[in-house]
Chain A
Amino acid sequence: MNAILSFSFILLVGLLSAKLIGRMKFPSVTAYLVIGILIGPSIFNLISPSLINNSGFISNIVLSFIAFSLGQSFSRESFKRIGRPVLWTSILEACGSWLLTTLSFWLILKQPFYLSLVFGAIASATAPAATLMVVREYRAKGIFTDTLLGVVAIDDAWCLIIFAISLAIARAVHFHMLSALFLVKVVFLSLLEIFGALILGGGIAWAMKRFSRYIRTQAELLTYTLGFILLNAGLAIYLHLSVLLASMFLGGVLVNIDRESSKFFNSLNSIDSPLYLIFFVLAGASLEIAVLPKLGMIGLVYIVFRSLGKIWGASIGAKIANAGHSVRKYLGLALLPQAGVALGTALIAKATFPEIGGIIITTIVTTSIIYELFGPLCTKFALKKAGEIGAKQE
């Protein structure tokens, strides 16, 4: 199948399958991933190989969009509204999964440190869409629900920061392992990658605001926004900086310096849905069936320690912020779904470390499907235990 035919196939089959799975009350992401696995090279091989080989290119573009959108969470207004419980809980549940998954891969599975670090960072992500779906379906309402939505709104932003830092360290550790100045190089290269990205994102945001006065129509606005997001991502790649952090900082600085910034974020709404669909299907298609039998212990350790990290981290965060009893006890359980950001970061990790890419992407695709199937049930259980799903809604 040629590349254009593959694209049309992905879009139409993806849309149809999402409609079907929606009737069974599962998130669309699950349908996209399963369709990707089915039409990918491991099973029916219906997608053009050139498209699979270039999936890193597509995921870089999509992740730049995602990171740019997540930058909105860093507006002064958002921070005022979310409050201490959300801030503490979101930081600690993300760090909890990062720490526990990293340590369990390193100490229990005896995996190399750089690989453990990458898995730990990916584990910090959650899936806001699945959580919101459960909240909407059961019309959950109350302090627990508000805290939960606040946490999922911001924690993928923490995940991208954690991932960018971890990837910089993992790369430095992996590629400079034999150097005499090992530690100095690790710290220097990591700081350069992170702070360089911050300066780049901030600078591009300033230029984006400065020249937007020449934009006259909404069509021009979309082209302008896309152009700047890609300019930022392209320069980050060229300068060997973190694309994720640069994109997130572009959004984060823009939202704070431009009172009309919402027009840039809104302009992407018209094109993001098909891009996300293609991104998820290609992520599913990247799964290597041959790797699945080796996955047993890795998958199990990943699921157990990521879940424990979320539950304990959220509980400690809620305690520090003096949140209510139900938030301390059940919030982590409601944060288990995993999807988009985890898959995106896994694709980046695969492109950075191709020799272990197969195991990373196969683990994350497989666990994402498991989490997307069972995660929403845990979210529902937590909301019910917190007393925020009324009897009539069940």
Chain B
Amino acid sequence: MNNDNPILVSDVMDREVIFISPGTTLQELLKKFRGFHTFPVVPVVNKEGIMIGTISFRGLIEIFQTKGTSLIKGVPFLEKEEVDIFNLDIDEDAGVLFIAQDIMDAKFLHLDEDMPLEKAYTTMKINSVDRLPVTDKEGRLTGIIGVFDILLAIFEKKGLIK
């Protein structure tokens, strides 16, 4: 890629982002994303437009496990166990009792909008993710970008897409 005039994340990102507020219930969240083929990484944005967390598929499953399980995952010697999604202990009321703030990961990955595309791609690769939200310097959610968006931008630059 030409480093003299690098393509920035803001040039490529999708500005139409579906996000939710911290008070969104689990039921509302699932209804909103029912039409998707896979559960996306969902940004959680407060009233001021600041991104305060993300909800992932893993977070969605973790709420039906013992609360302490998420605290213990960094501890050594634990025998890793796949979660049995067919056998989750789900209460019927969970849909209205859990809100986005309970489910979200407050320590989340995101990209800066003025970051060069090459750096954004490396960040995604070494963190094993294929889609990340984008924020401005103040932490306001401005877009979302995926590995495929980056690939399309490269194809476009090389003249493959007119």
Contacts and interface: CB of A to CB of B under 8 A. Distances in A.
Interface of A: 27-29, 65-66, 69-70, 72-73, 75, 77-78, 81-82, 127-129, 132-133, 135-136, 139-141, 145-150, 152-154, 156, 213, 215-218, 221, 259-260, 262-263, 265-266, 269, 272, 276, 339-340
B86 interface: no
Secondary structure at the B interface, as helix, strand, loop or mixed, is: loop
A77 B106 contact: yes
A394 B41 CA distance: 38
B38 interface: no
B85 to A, nearest CB: 15
Contacts of A128: 72, 75, 77-78
Contact of A265 (B71, B74, B123): B74
7 shortest A-B CB distances, which residue pairs? A149-B68, A72-B74, A153-B72, A153-B71, A340-B77, A146-B68, A146-B67
Interface of B: 66-69, 71-72, 74-81, 89, 106-107, 109, 119, 122-123, 125-128
Given A77-B106, A141-B89, A216-B126, A70 B76 contact: yes
A195 B74 CA distance: 25
A221 B68 CA distance: 29
A216 B89 contact: no
A153 B75 contact: yes
Nearest to B68: A149
A263 B126 contact: yes
B75 A263 contact: no
Contact of B76 (A27, A154, A276): A276
A254 B11 CA distance: 32
Given A69-B76, A339-B77, A260 B123 contact: yes
Given A135-B66, A218-B125, A153 B81 contact: no
